[in-house]
Chain A
Amino acid sequence: NAGVTQTPKFQVLKTGQSMTLQCAQDMNHEYMSWYRQDPGMGLRLIHYSVGAGITDQGEVPNGYNVSRSTTEDFPLRLLSAAPSQTSVYFCASSYGLVTGANVLTFGAGSRLTVL
């Protein structure tokens, strides 16, 4: 099993450009999420989904959109990139959010630089 696959691994954008970070999992996980990690800030939740067709905002959703058309895929869209969005992005998934099902598996990360 591949687990959680993120693409691209690295990306450089100019301010104002848009792009999509891809995330796919093959573990039949219902819960998927996007985090960003910045020095000294820890992992912060951007958006999450508890199943196909259902998404919700996390702690830092501004400037990002998500959709969940299938169980496997959960892309993150940057609408108009800003330097403040320079970060490492992690996609993570689990069977669910209840205790016992909520162990997260992470993708390898996507490093984004916005100039």
Chain B
Amino acid sequence: RKEVEQDPGPFNVPEGATVAFNCTYSNSASQSFFWYRQDCRKEPKLLMSVYSSGNEDGRFTAQLNRASQYISLLIRDSKLSDSATYLCVVNHPGGGNKLTFGTGTQLKVEL
């Protein structure tokens, strides 16, 4: 099993739609969880950290489910500018606590 797995998509959604991505991780001892956004041919940028209690930032909500070992990202009222690849990132406690990246989920928001 891969350390971090994501559905590559693409998810094609109309503007204004709600879309959700999941990401599963293999190491039950992981403590740090992030969602990064990557625009085409650009560097990844932090979208949000994911906390145990869940957290929200405007139209974006992140959740952590430790029992099932997945994190989720919900985007409400999708905008054209949300089109990007969303990367799930998890730390690897047994490997020097380094961060492992998923391959990303591509989102395309259409008119």
- CB neighbours (8 Å) of A33 from chain B are 98
Interface of B, helix, strand, loop or mixed by DSSP: loop
Q: CA separation between A61 and B49, bound complex, in Å?
A: 28
B14-22, B40-48, B58-66, B76-84 - the one binding chain A: B40-48
Known contacts A41-B103, A42-B103, A107-B43: does B91 contact A102 (CB below 8 Å)? yes
- CB neighbours (8 Å) of B49 from chain A are 103
Q: Does A51 contact B (CB under 8 A)?
A: no
Instruction: Say whether A56 contacts B96, CB under 8 Å.
Output: yes
Instruction: Say whether A90 contacts B32, CB under 8 Å.
Output: no
Interface residues on B, range: 20 to 34
Interface residues on A, range: 20 to 34
Residue of A nearest to B36 (CB): A104
Q: Does A53 contact B (CB under 8 A)?
A: no
Instruction: Say whether A106 contacts B45, CB under 8 Å.
Output: yes
- CB neighbours (8 Å) of B42 from chain A are 108-109
Instruction: Say whether A106 contacts B44, CB under 8 Å.
Output: yes
Known contacts A90-B44, A109-B43: does B97 contact A97 (CB below 8 Å)? yes
**From residue A46, how far is it (CB to closest CB) to chain B in Å?**
12
Instruction: Say whether A43 contacts B32, CB under 8 Å.
Output: no
Q: CA separation between A48 and B44, bound complex, in Å?
A: 18
Interface string of B2-44 (1 = CB under 8 A from A): 0000001000000000000000000000011010000001111
Residue of A nearest to B97 (CB): A97
- CB neighbours (8 Å) of A43 from chain B are 44, 87, 101
Of B43, B96, B104, the residue contacting A106 (CB under 8 A) is B43
- CB neighbours (8 Å) of A104 from chain B are 44, 46, 89, 99
Of B87, B91, B98, the residue contacting A45 (CB under 8 A) is B98
Give the B-binding residues of A (Cβ under 8 A).
33, 35, 40-45, 48, 56, 58, 90, 97-99, 102-109
